[in-house]
Chains A and B, each alone.
Chain A
Amino acid sequence: MTDTEDYDQEYSYILPRVSRSALKVWRRNWDVFFKTYQVNFLPPFIEPVLYLLAIGFGLGMFVGEIDGIPYVEFIAPALLSISMMNSAFFECTYSSYVRMYYQKTFDAMIATPLSIDDVITGELLWGATRSLIYSSVMLLVLIGFGVVNLPSSLLVIPFSFLAGLMFACIAMCFTAITPGIDALNYPSFLFITPMFLFSGTFFPLSILPEPVQLLAIAFLPLTQLVIVARSLTLTDLSPLFGYSLVWIGVVTTIFFVLSTLLMRRRLIV
């Protein structure tokens, strides 16, 4: 038997140690989602229709075209991007917090061979999956309205997983440090809502002052989603397409490591 002072060190490793078991956590959330799919599938059908009618066609009457593109087609990829962001972000903030704190699901899981890293990774993969499900449903609606190009728009489906994963990882960091569920309103209002407006979603970034444009391109995650999604739905590659993809990959990696680290710090006591 070894006898060591400060075993806490054993748990202070940096890189997450994930096993295949993460998929079981993902599967648990998948099962719960499809138990109530009637409720879960309604919003992604209704939301884009409302936005398209009100903003796309309504406001579009006055806006006409942006950079030679009909306004509805300009905002269609933005709607997809916002849906990726919201579905993953809210899943891994409020919903994950409820599972962690109120339902004690994480506690129940880590009493089995699953590790905390497995549980968190499963939650993140599920957040990404939710982004994929929601934006795919929305894509169907947009295809129905004929406002996105085919077949290039189909690439939005795999992309939505990656984009969702990034927002899931960012969200999980907030969940790991929040003192309570109400405090999660701060990232929602201070981070998600402004981004919703200033990421080239409903008007092009080019009409903003140049420093603001640069900030949006350098730092706002949603900007990257809109750049990639718009390139795909309009079949018109933005010069920033590659940059945005790499940006998403790097940020996802950083926040994945950070979220597991912060969660270990929160849950291992």
Chain B
Amino acid sequence: MADYPVIEAERLTKRFGTLTAVEGISFSVSRGDVFGFLGPNGAGKTTTMKMIQCISPRTAGALTVLGMDTATHPREIKAELGVLPQETNLDPEFTCRENLLAYARYFDIPVSEARKRADELLSFVQLQEKQDVPIDKLSGGMKRRLLLARALINDPQLLILDEPTIGLDPQGRHLIWEKLKALQAAGNTIVLTTHYLEEAERLCNRLVIMDRGKILVEGSPANLISRYVGNDIVEAEHTPEVVSCLEEMGARFEIYGDMVQVLTDQPREVAKRLFETCNPGHVFARRASLEDVFLKLTGRVLRD
């Protein structure tokens, strides 16, 4: 197997007129990785996906996918990619099955082979019963699943999933996670973007957090959590008493509205001392999550 990275980006930049959507980001995705892009709305995730897909030319920097330059080998690269776009673009004139068959044709897959794969994929995403249903009769979750099936029709070397579980109910999300886990176990390389931090924590072995076109941090979920927030978090009500108490203890804490968060490796002790000495109302100890890292790095203010 070739030893080049599946994706290699160096100082990758994309400008739309005067707006810089992606600003000099560098990252590298290896074979078998499930690589996540997190970041607030407008961070530049989709723009980055589109550059990897060779449908949006970069403004500057270098970008190779499967060892080929996206600027000079779009056809060859696209033949090896499976893409699930953020905006659904299934063909509304066709049924589920016809969508897969039409897509297979774009990849030059022979008809008999395409039929076989369409059947397999429809059952993989549990849509056999809907195979002859037109697209506008599908629920949002079914459309996402069909998009995943469509992304797999050419047996891609690299899967690019732009918010694969957007708008899905918990069942739908779990189903997609299960499928992605299976794909990962089979050795697929997956790049995904998501706003669901739990999803990134479960699926990704590596991820980056982007904001305003730049990569803020990179690492594995566990690594990022211990690096930026520690293992545990104790939450208490935000009262002057609690604050002065924590200051006395010399604890690392942050105030978010009516809540105080203590970052600590000894949650039991902190909780106990709070209870005993500061009359904290209720106290809640939990494990730190990627969400804490995310909010810490990108702030709590809403983006447009």
- Please list the residues of chain A having a beta carbon within 8 angstroms of any beta carbon in chain B: 1-8, 10-11, 19, 21, 24, 27-28, 31-32, 35, 103-105, 107-115, 268-269
Contact = CB atoms under 8 A, between A and B. Distances in A.
Taking residues whose C-beta sits less than 8 angstroms from the other chain, chain B's interface range is 35 or more
A112 B103 contact: yes
Given A24-B106, A111-B53, A113-B108, A6 B93 contact: no
Contacts of A109: 106
Contact of B11 (A3, A24, A114): A3
B25 to A, nearest CB: 14
A31 B56 contact: no
A113 B11 contact: no
Given A1-B69, A112-B103, A112-B106, A105 B56 contact: no
B8 interface: yes
A113 B91 contact: no
B219 interface: no
Interface of B: 8, 10-11, 16, 53, 55-62, 64, 69, 71-72, 74-76, 78-79, 81, 83, 85, 87-94, 98, 102-103, 105-108, 154
Nearest to A5: B60
26 contacts: A1-B8, A1-B10, A3-B11, A5-B60, A6-B60, A7-B57, A7-B59, A7-B71, A21-B106, A24-B106, A28-B105, A31-B98, A32-B94, A103-B91, A103-B93, A107-B85, A107-B87, A108-B89, A112-B78, A112-B154, A113-B78, A113-B106, A113-B107, A114-B106, A269-B16, A269-B56
A214 B91 CA distance: 46
Contacts of B107: 112-113
Contacts of B89: 103-105, 107-108
Contacts of A8: 57, 59
The 8 tightest CB contacts between A and B, nearest first, are A104-B89, A112-B106, A108-B89, A1-B62, A3-B62, A32-B93, A111-B83, A113-B79
A24 B105 contact: yes
Contacts of A31: 94, 98, 102
B69 A111 contact: no
B79 A108 contact: no
Given A107-B85, A111-B83, A111-B85, A2 B69 contact: yes
A112 B10 CA distance: 25
Nearest to A10: B71
A256 B56 CA distance: 23
A104 B85 CA distance: 11
Contact of A2 (B62, B74, B103): B62
B8 A6 contact: no
Nearest to B47: A269
Choose among A28, A115, A268 the residue with the greatest number of B CB atoms under 10 Å from its CB: A28
Given A3-B10, A112-B107, A35 B93 contact: yes
A114 B102 CA distance: 13
B188 to A, nearest CB: 18
Contacts of A103: 89, 91-93
A14 B105 CA distance: 28
Contacts of B78: 111-113
Interface centre among A6, A11, A31, A113 (most CB of B within 10 A): A113
B279 to A, nearest CB: 58
